[in-house]
Chains A and B, each alone.
Chain A
Amino acid sequence: MLKYLASRLLTFIPTFIGVTLISFSFIRALPGDPIVVMAGERGLSEERYAELVKQFGFDRPVYVQFWEYLTGVLQGDLGNSFVTKKPVWDEFFALFPATLELSICAMIFAVALGLPAGVIAAVNRGKFFDRALMSTALVGYSMPIFWWALLLIIVFSGNLGWTPVSGRIDLVYYFPNATGFMLIDSLVSGQKGAFASAVRHLILPTIVLGTIPLAVIARQTRSAMLEVLGEDYIRTARAKGMPPGRINGIHALRNALIPVVTVIGLSVGTLLAGAILTETIFSWPGIGKWMVDSIFRRDYPVVQGGLLLIAVMVMIVNLTVDVLYGVINPKIRKR
């Protein structure tokens, strides 16, 4: 086990350095003079330019510059935003809870509906229910979620007036941002209606962001269940006269869950890509919207730092899933 863990960690390090190298090259790959880009100032005088070259370290060899960038990153120094002048690191972690809250809700939504849907489809294989569920899943899987979001807004916010169109909570409520999770903060604040408002703001973004994972989980659960249902021990359980609910729900599902859990873990990247679109449409103040806004504002330190932090986040989750998978399934460790 330790050997497996070490080998996984060993592949993590070069990937991390590579990801850092990409975000390091980002500013240098932009069209135009990187000094002018990074200074974010117009009409630089010659003295100021020379000063900036020195300040940003462009007078030194590239590998020294990269080394300094890398050591800076490891100490949490990602530079400051052009727009707010605040450190990128602080901004990222101030906005991250919003994205995390949305992603967790979307994942709960996807698992809560996708898992039973997959099980029901597998148990009723080939019947009407199976076909209907799997057709719906394929539609969900093919969904352009930015359009899906607009449709939901038209129906639920426009026609029915049930849900708000943007933001995390109504502006009339104000309370300290203790955890960054609006659901918890609003509940703790004890203000009447605050929690309900937060929930109503969450519903549409959750559905939009959860749609594709939901479809993937439903399809994956179905195929994993079908595989397990063909195993000998299931036949044995049937022969013993065990009730079908117990066979499907406990014996089969437990073993079908292993590949499903992997899929859930590995869809973090998909979730973050979806968060970019979802947050932009619903004006959700998370890192997805922050990245898109920064790209439009040409706030390059933010784009550079955000890119790196998001990639590292995805890598850590993938590594964790890999290691956990090795813990659950010893066969994997041998490879």
Chain B
Amino acid sequence: MTETAAAAVTETARPNRLREFWYYFRENRGAVIGLWVFAVFVFCAALGPWIAPHDPTQQFREYTLLPPAWQTGGSWEFILGTDPLGRDMLSRLIVGARYSFFVGVVVVSIAASGGILIGLIAGFSPTWLDAIIMRIMDIILAFPSLLLALVLVAILGPSLTNAMIAIAIVLQPHYVRLTRASVLSEKQKDYVTSARVAGAGLVRLMFVTVLPNCLAPIIVQGALSFSTAILDAAALGFLGMGAQPPTPEWGTMLAEAREFILRAWWVVTFPGLAILVTVLAINLMGDGLRDALDPKLKRS
């Protein structure tokens, strides 16, 4: 505490935002653990095919449904066992990380960029346009997200790409509402008025003056919807409406393993565990982000 106070006195410049953020983020132990797990997940996603012990689609026909190595009958060649077609579980899980990561990144980018843009427009537009935009968002929100995603995929055809588009559409209204709410409260403030008086145009006002000050809740929402996207994509895969076999996507793997649940626990347990651990890590990070970015909750 005294350290930061001293730093604030000596440095007249703005304190380093990243360092300040890290200072608060580090206080939350769960968030740091989440960050480490997420780092491992990103590592698997980036280097999957090179670190996996086997090819995820190669079928070892003489080793079907082999239990994990520590069980009787298991082999250290297939640490987490093999699936009904003799494919190595561990390799499939490692390579599967990239599908989930890809889903998260694409969905959040589409939903956030679209949502922020629409939210900014709604916040700055005349009342009638704002009302129309918000009613449209209400309409999307009236449908349970998974149901709407399912129906959209039924229209577009089942594939991972279409599942991502559907989930992005479903998640978008949350960004619109969040951005609009922040914009409306920021617009009242003096710095926006002074920027306007100084002659800033509408576009500058929207993107340069107001937007950076609305970002904190949006970033937190980004983390949360990253995990929602992974869960929804896995659920769609599980229902047969997402990634199609033999893609080693975790939800699709679970769907394929369903009929073996009473005979081979490992084909069911590990893909789900991978989803749970990833989503949990991201949610832990999200909590840490919220604590670090939300000035109201900061314990000063």
* Interface contact B143-A11, CB-CB below 8 Å: no
Smallest CB-CB separation from A287: which chain B residue? B147
Q: Complex: how many Å from CA A142 to CA B275?
A: 9
Interface flag for A110 (CB, 8 Å)? no
Q: Complex: how many Å from CA A269 to CA B141?
A: 9
Contact of B144 among A144, A147, A310 (CB under 8 A): A310
The distance from the CB of A33 to the nearest CB of chain B, in whole angstroms, is: 14
Interface flag for B5 (CB, 8 Å)? no
Contact of A270 among B30, B144, B241, B273 (CB under 8 A): B144
The number of A-B residue pairs with CB atoms under 8 Å apart is: 125
Quick one: which of A174-230 are within 8 Å of B by CB? none
Interface flag for B258 (CB, 8 Å)? yes
Interface flag for A253 (CB, 8 Å)? no
Give the total of A residues in contact with B, Cβ under 8 Å: 45
Q: Complex: how many Å from CA A274 to CA B279?
A: 17
Q: Is the interface of B mostly helix, strand, loop or mixed?
A: helix
Interface flag for B284 (CB, 8 Å)? yes
Q: Across the interface, which residues of B come within 8 angstroms of A314, CB to CB?
A: 142-144
Contact of B155 among A30, A141, A274 (CB under 8 A): A30
Chain B binder among A49-57, A67-75, A88-96, A151-159: A151-159
Q: Across the interface, which residues of A come within 8 angstroms of B241, CB to CB?
A: 295
Interface flag for B195 (CB, 8 Å)? no
The distance from the CB of A212 to the nearest CB of chain B, in whole angstroms, is: 10
Interface flag for B154 (CB, 8 Å)? yes
Q: Across the interface, which residues of B come within 8 angstroms of A269, CB to CB?
A: 141-145
Of A26, A292, A310, A311, most B-chain CB atoms within 10 Å: A311
Q: Across the interface, which residues of B come within 8 angstroms of A31, CB to CB?
A: 155, 157
Give the total of B residues in contact with A, Cβ under 8 Å: 44
Q: Across the interface, which residues of A come within 8 angstroms of B265, CB to CB?
A: 154
- With contacts A147-B268, A310-B147 taken as known, whether A14 is within 8 angstroms of B155 at the C-beta atoms is no
Q: Across the interface, which residues of B come within 8 angstroms of A274, CB to CB?
A: 146
Interface flag for A109 (CB, 8 Å)? no
Q: Across the interface, which residues of A come within 8 angstroms of B135, CB to CB?
A: 11, 14-15, 18
* Interface contact B144-A138, CB-CB below 8 Å: no
* Interface contact A295-B254, CB-CB below 8 Å: no
Chain A binder among B91-99, B104-112, B232-240: B232-240
Q: Which 5 A-B pairs have the closest CB atoms?
A: A147-B272, A18-B139, A273-B144, A273-B146, A142-B279
23 CB < 8 A contacts A-B: A18-B136, A18-B139, A19-B139, A22-B139, A29-B155, A31-B157, A138-B280, A142-B283, A143-B276, A144-B279, A146-B254, A147-B254, A147-B275, A150-B272, A153-B261, A269-B143, A276-B239, A277-B146, A280-B239, A291-B147, A291-B150, A303-B151, A312-B142
